Amino acid sequence: MYRVYPCILSSIEESRGTSSPLFFTLGMVDDRITLLSYMNSQDMSAKFDFVTVGDFGKPKPEHRRLIRSRCMQGKNKRGGSRRSLQQERKAAKKQVEELQTHALSRTLRACPSDLALVQLPGELGLDSDEILFKYLTYGAIRNLVNPIEVCVNVDPLKPHFFAWPFYETTFFHAALLTTSATNDYLLKRPLSKTTYFHLQRTLYFLNRKLSNERAYLEDPLVYVIVILTLMAATFGDTAAATTHMDGLLQIIHLRGGMEYLREHPGLHYKLDRLDLSWCLGFGGMPRFADQNMSWDPMFSRQAISSNQVIDVQNVDSYFVDSRLREVFQDAQQLVRLINEHFSKNTKFHGETFQNTISSVQTRLLILKDMLSSSLDECICLATLAFMTTTFQIPDRKVPYRDLRKRLRKLHRPIPRATAGLQDLQLWVLFLSAISVLDDDEVWLVERWGIVANGGMEWDNVRRRLQSVLWIDCIHDKLGREAYFKMTSRVQISVVGEAVR
């Protein structure tokens, strides 16, 4: 049996002539003592020499000299001798070299990246660290991209996909693709190499997943295709958008169609936005519309609040199609409720908003190609433009080509219009300017000059816009900017005419 005993040999201590004892570690193996190690009690640094002993515990003669040599290390030295000075110089030089090496190693060791210990499922690629940080902080700036979240509580509509990029490779690249492309869009520059890198990786891993016949059951896969479709629609890639949309339709059908979407309002909310972008960009009918949708009004005709400061304009007499009138009134009531909640520092209920806006949007998208009156069509398209502003990227306008073309064609001054119709005309003009049209376009400025008729103060313009359809916390800033740009252009035009 092996046992260890620490002990002090006083005889050796005396032989060294020092008050610092020498500690030995002794081992007992089959009643024979073996000297394993010793250390000075001052420096406590272990130095090992293995020495055997005889049957009576005495070291062999050839080992006694070694023991005495070790005990006398550092003793019997003459200070100032050539050997002592040489040892001191070597020790000093070694100490300097060690200090220099330590300082250099500290200088060359860069701090590790904040992501060094984060396990990611895919390759970050060029300059993607910053993009990943922007994705992780998106929750703090999401109101910039989804302005409606300032006044509507859409959190219940959001899927819990924050953790997906950390274990799902396809969604990891899709998330970085979205963040990088949005960054390019905000900076008004072409798609960067980083964006293209993550686009290629997203498509590569998506195709690998789709080779599995049960891939449609994976939630991250659905959202990846939604992201790709929205990206293609935003940047006007018709072929890619069509391909992704067809695939998405097939997946939703396999999952249960509209019944599945009713059970997943978060995904339904995303698909409604996708439908709106698709129809306004490329034309046609909504792809995710409920075939059994009701055309009945969502709200009672009774006023929501009798003490409302801004009275919503009664526009019944201006509509030819009664279905459009009812849809527009639903939109007015929804906006009134949102403004009331915001004025009380509360957010409107997200699921009520989703149900109402989904019904309003679907009915408008179906009606836009069925209306016989040009005024009805103009109001319908302006209301759809109004809806795009609820998720509009700041300082950038998505080029909804079909909507732009039709609004330019339809918007014309109405001679001898009543006061209510003038307000409606003013509202269509401003919605066009803040959503899809450039507010400095010549024809738009000319229309503003006619409608303004000698000039109007912004506060007066704002009250008239509020009387139609206007979410204060979203549209006030956009409307004010458009007002001053168009007014300054009209004034420049008037000065130019006077000079000529």
Q: Inform me whether the pLDDT recorded for 408 exceeds 50.
A: yes
Reported as a single tens digit per residue, the pLDDT across 422-443 is 888 899 999 999 998 876 677 7
What distance in Å separates the CA atoms of residue 402 and residue 420, rounded to the nearest whole number?
28
**pLDDT band at 138; cut points 50, 70, 90:** low
Q: Inform me whether the pLDDT recorded for 213 exceeds 50.
A: yes
Coil/strand/helix, residue 42: coil
Both 286 and 140 in one domain: the answer is: yes
Tell me which of 72-76, 80-84, 404-408 is least confident: 72-76
Domain of 20, in residue numbers: 3-71
Both 317 and 458 in one domain: the answer is: yes
Q: Is residue 430 part of a domain?
A: yes
- Of 71, 91, 109, which residue is a domain's last? 71
- Residues of the chain with pLDDT > 90, as a percent, come to 30
Mean pLDDT computed over 406-412: 83
**pLDDT band at 121; cut points 50, 70, 90:** low
- Of 25, 56, 71, which residue is a domain's last? 71
Q: Inform me whether the pLDDT recorded for 323 exceeds 90.
A: yes
Both 369 and 465 in one domain: the answer is: yes
Both 315 and 416 in one domain: the answer is: yes
**pLDDT band at 333; cut points 50, 70, 90:** very high
**Beta 47-51 vs 32-40: how paired, if at all?**
antiparallel
- Of 56, 71, 86, which residue is a domain's last? 71
Q: Is residue 82 part of a domain?
A: no
First to last CA, the chain: 116
More confident residue, 141 or 461: 461
Reported as a single tens digit per residue, the pLDDT across 232-243 is 888 878 899 899
Q: Is residue 280 part of a domain?
A: yes
Mean pLDDT computed over 71-85: 70
Q: Is residue 24 part of a domain?
A: yes
Both 67 and 130 in one domain: the answer is: no
Q: Is residue 349 part of a domain?
A: yes
Q: Inform me whether the pLDDT recorded for 128 exceeds 80.
A: no
What distance in Å separates the CA atoms of residue 143 and residue 391, rounded to the nearest whole number?
9
Q: Are 383 and 471 in contact (CB under 8 A)?
A: no
Tell me which of 136-150, 434-448, 461-475 is least confident: 136-150
Mean pLDDT computed over 157-162: 67
Tell me which of 261-270, 272-281, 307-316, 377-386 is least confident: 307-316
Both 318 and 404 in one domain: the answer is: yes
What distance in Å separates the CA atoms of residue 458 and residue 329, rounded to the nearest whole number?
26
**Helix (H), strand (E) counts: the chain:** 19, 6
Supply the pLDDT for residue 255.
93
Q: Is residue 102 part of a domain?
A: no
Q: Is residue 46 part of a domain?
A: yes
Concatenated DSSP letters of 212-236: STTGGG-HHHHHHHHHHHHHHHHTT
Concatenated DSSP letters of 78-110: PTT-HHHHHHHHHHHHHHHHHHHHHHHHHHH-P
Both 131 and 58 in one domain: the answer is: no
Both 270 and 333 in one domain: the answer is: yes
Tell me which of 75-84, 163-172, 212-221, 259-268 is least confident: 75-84
Supply the pLDDT for residue 78.
67
Query: What is the count of structural domains for the chain?
Result: 2
- Residues of the chain with pLDDT > 70, as a percent, come to 69
Supply the pLDDT for residue 393.
72
Q: Is residue 222 part of a domain?
A: no
Residues 6+ apart with CB under 8 A from 145: 182, 391, 393, 394
Both 322 and 461 in one domain: the answer is: yes
Both 423 and 341 in one domain: the answer is: yes
Mean pLDDT computed over 359-363: 95
Supply the pLDDT for residue 35.
43
Both 389 and 477 in one domain: the answer is: yes
Tell me which of 183-197, 268-282, 475-489 is least confident: 183-197
